[in-house]
Amino acid sequence: MDFIFIEEMRVEAHVGIYARERVAPQTLELSLTFGVPDEAAQDDDIAKTIDYAAVIDRIRAELAARHFNLLETLGEFVIALLLDEFRAPWVKVSIAKVGIARGVKRVGVQIERARE
C-alpha cells in the first residue's frame, strides 16, 4: 500500500468544552497519513488515487461548519470522511490544539483506523 501524508495543516475550528472554547474558533494542527491504491503510481492517473487538495478543502469546509466537544470526536469524524467518502483503506490522524496551555506547545490526539 502507498501512502499520502499531509503534515501540520493549520485550520480554524470550533472545538472544546470550556466556555472560552465555545466563543471563538481556535487553531488546530492536523497531520494525516492515508493509504492509496498502488495502481495510481503505475498508471500516473490522478483518478486512481486520492486528491490531497480535495481532502484539504473538504476538511477545512467541514471544520468551519461544525462544533465538536472533544478532539477525539473530531478525529473520528475526519477518519470517517477519509474512509467513507474518499475510500482510503487506512488512515492515521493527529490533531492538536496549538498554544492551549501555558508552557505547552500542543495538546492533542492521534487515531488510526482501517476500513473493514
* Whether the Cβ atoms of residue 81 and residue 61 lie closer than 8 Å to each other: no
pLDDT tops 80 at residue 40: no
- The range of the structural domain enclosing residue 54 comes to 2-114
Specify the 3-state DSSP secondary structure of 18. Answer: coil
**Number of structural domains, the chain?**
1
pTM over 0.85, yes/no:
yes
Mean pLDDT calculated for residue range 82-100? 95
Least confident span in 1-5, 45-49, 92-96:
45-49
Specify the DSSP class assigned to residue 70. -
Residue type, position 45, single letter: D
pLDDT at 1: 86
Burial of 24 from C-beta contacts in 10 A (0-12 / 13-18 / 19+): exposed
What is the CATH classification number for the domain harbouring 35? 3.30.1130.10
pLDDT tops 90 at residue 7: yes
The position carrying cell 496549538 is 98
pLDDT at 24: 86
